[in-house]
Amino acid sequence: MPASELIAKSATDIVALLKAGEVTTLDLLDALEARIAEVEPAVNALPTLCFERARDAAGALAARPVAERGVLAGMPVAIKDLLNVAGVRSTQGSPIFADTVPETSDVAVTTLEAAGGVVYAKANTPEFGAGANTFNEVFGRTLNPWDTSKSCAGSSGGSAVALATGTAWLASGSDLGGSLRNPASFCGIVGFRPTPGRVAHGPSALPFNSMSVEGPMARTVADCALMLDAMSGSTPVDPISLEKPAVSFVDAVAARRAPKRVAFSRDLGGITPVDPEVAAIVEKAARRFEDMGCIVEEACPDFSDVQMIFQTLRAMAFAASKKELLASHRDKLKPEVIWNIEKGLSLTMEEISAAELARGRYYHRVRQFYETYDLVLCPATVVPPYPIEQRYVEECCGHSFSNYIEWCTVAYAFTCASLPAISVPAGFTAGGLPVGLQIAGPPRGEAAVLAAAALFEDAAPWAHTLPVDPRGPKG
């Protein structure tokens, strides 16, 4: 089968071909290597490649019976550069760790490999995943393939661009303030933030932290569900990790169970400005649920104290995990990371305890909202892709954001409630740039989110537009 034909197929179709013996993992790696040579110089999504390691892993996997090769059956997977991969340069996007080659892999990587995933590349990320624009001092900028003068967002930007350009069928991401959902929206792919603990990771210095999660990225909802099945599971390494659900996520997508009543909001009750074109595209997308027989009402939970909660707890985590780096390598840290660490170090016990108590109240308010509504629909990002030279979005609709992460409020409103949320392609701006619809579910409601996203994808099938060849700016 020609490499170009393989590259255009979905991950679900590729796994079926692997299980049927119609292609091998080596065939897929060859196709990826050729595609990377074609498009990677224009976008810089996968700066670290490990094809020799991947071919060794493919050979070991091929020695097993097909039934023992896991749900991915030898599918190549790209890994975000925040996760360690044994024997592969793993930088975290930081000059401090630019030459680090770990001896062991993060448990999220070993779980994927145990499920038949074959790691062949590391995807670019901003330093420590901080900031929703993918650039760093180690590898430089990753560019949006729909318009290479634009940002691909972040922090899972390398993964999103690899998927959009056909240098990956599946890729890992992580999400604290929207790092799975932002780049999915900007690049026209699917990014899913699952419930904390759904995907085990670590060992971590903050193993009980429920703000940051690992999750899947793909070109279609079904592919995202496939990867989530491969990533899920419990391990003692991660004390909040959850057992696999009784029903697989692939089966949940196949069932296509429609929600009965969904809430839609352009701006989550006014907690953030939203670009008018983005709001219009997302509202049109949300109204498609009415065609599915759902009740769509304008409503949202009370997110009014999200800034105090998120900014405080995020800063506390930065201080706890990075204060030693600030003391020893301040000159190698980017300004936004320094600001976040210092903000955390300046917090008082009163401020931290107030944020923790507020988060508890916040969670229960939001949980009760889902007793009335099955899902919440809203924008995944508040702006379309912006110029790559901007470090972050500073202003929207006349509102000046107070710091480098505030423009991601529409995403981290759900982070603070530990809810699963997905970004699925919703349409394009007049300038041809992707916009994502965010679908957020109730606690541990991944199956409901994936099923609804699949139904929406059926009604608005933009996945056929991928992969794309990188495009320069218009005009």
d(CA 352, CA 60) in angstroms, rounded, equals 49
| Residue pair 179/187 in contact by the 8 Å Cβ criterion | no
| Residue pair 213/193 in contact by the 8 Å Cβ criterion | yes
SS3 assignment for the chain: CCHHHHHHCCHHHHHHHHHHCCCCHHHHHHHHHHHHHHHHHHHCCCCEECHHHHHHHHHHHHCCCHHHCCCCCCCEEEEECCCCCCCCCCCCCCHHHCCCCCCCCCHHHHHHHHCCCEEEEEECCCHHHCCCCCEECCCEECECCCCCCEECCCCCHHHHHHHHHCCCCEEEEEECCCCCHHHHHHHCCEEEECCCCCECCCCCCCCCCCCCEEEEEECCHHHHHHHHHHHCECECCECCCCCCCCCCHHHHHHHCCCCCEEEECCCCCCCCCCCHHHHHHHHHHHHHHHHCCCEEEECCCCCCCHHHHHHHHHHHHHHHHHHHHHHHHHHHCCHHHHHHHHHHHCCCHHHHHHHHHHHHHHHHHHHHHCCCCCEEEEECCCCCCCECCCCCCCEECCEECCCCCHHHHHHHHHHCCCCCEEEEEEEECCCCCEEEEEEECCCCCHHHHHHHHHHHHHHCCHHHHCCCCCCCCCC
| Catalytic status, residue 265 | no
Select which of 9, 80, 122, 322 is catalytic.
80
Select which of 105, 179, 212, 232 is catalytic.
179
| Catalytic status, residue 80 | yes
Task: Find where tokens 């629909």 sit.
Answer: 377
Select which of 94, 105, 151, 155 is catalytic.
155
| Catalytic status, residue 284 | no
| Residue pair 66/15 in contact by the 8 Å Cβ criterion | no
Closest Cα partner for 376 from 283, 264, 470?
264
Q: Please give the positions annotated as active site.
A: 80, 155, 179
